[in-house]
Amino acid sequence: MRVVVQRVSKAAVYIDGKQYSSIERGMLVLLGIEEADGNEDVDWLVPKLARLRIFPDAQGVMNRDIMEIMGEFLVVSQFTLHASTRKGNRPAYIRAARPESAIPLYEDFVAKLITLTGSGVRTGQFGAMMQVELVNDGPVTIIIDSRNRE
């Protein structure tokens, strides 16, 4: 699993020109699931995100996690995070998981994030064409891949 995490002051997902979901202060999580991913990736990644200290403390140091600031998550599926650009100019998505395996992992990811953090967790709609609007706070953008745990 690969995520792009952005610390945001607000973010929203639109589908067909209508707002589908939104958050205020928190994290926008773009989630890419590949065929090799399983429940162990979810179980490693969810606590990592919940405890990721990217929010400033009173001294302005990134030392607080999302639960300490009572922030929210907006989780958006994004298969393009597993694009291969090695050959030619058109990305290939052969490593991205098919919906029949990706949807259960996506749903498990969201459910475990809710259970662990108790924070507000909003989502996009899996497989939909979405427009994502955000105000990146900092800017702070972090990439985490469950294949690179060392």
Q: Which of 78, 109, 117, 123 is catalytic?
A: 78
Burial class (CB in 10 A: 0-12, 13-18, 19+), 148: exposed
Q: How far apart are CA 121 and CA 97, in angstroms?
A: 23
For the question of residue 79 being annotated catalytic, the response is yes
Q: How far apart are CA 125 and CA 78, in angstroms?
A: 10
Cα→Cα distances 101→38, 96, 109, Å: 9, 10, 13
CA atoms within 13 A on the CB side of 50: 19
Q: Give the type of residue at 15.
A: I
Judge whether 51 and 65 are in contact, CB under 8 Å.
yes
Q: Give the type of residue at 126.
A: F
Judge whether 106 and 3 are in contact, CB under 8 Å.
no
Q: Which of 19, 80, 115, 131 is catalytic?
A: 80
As annotated, the active-site residues are: 78-80
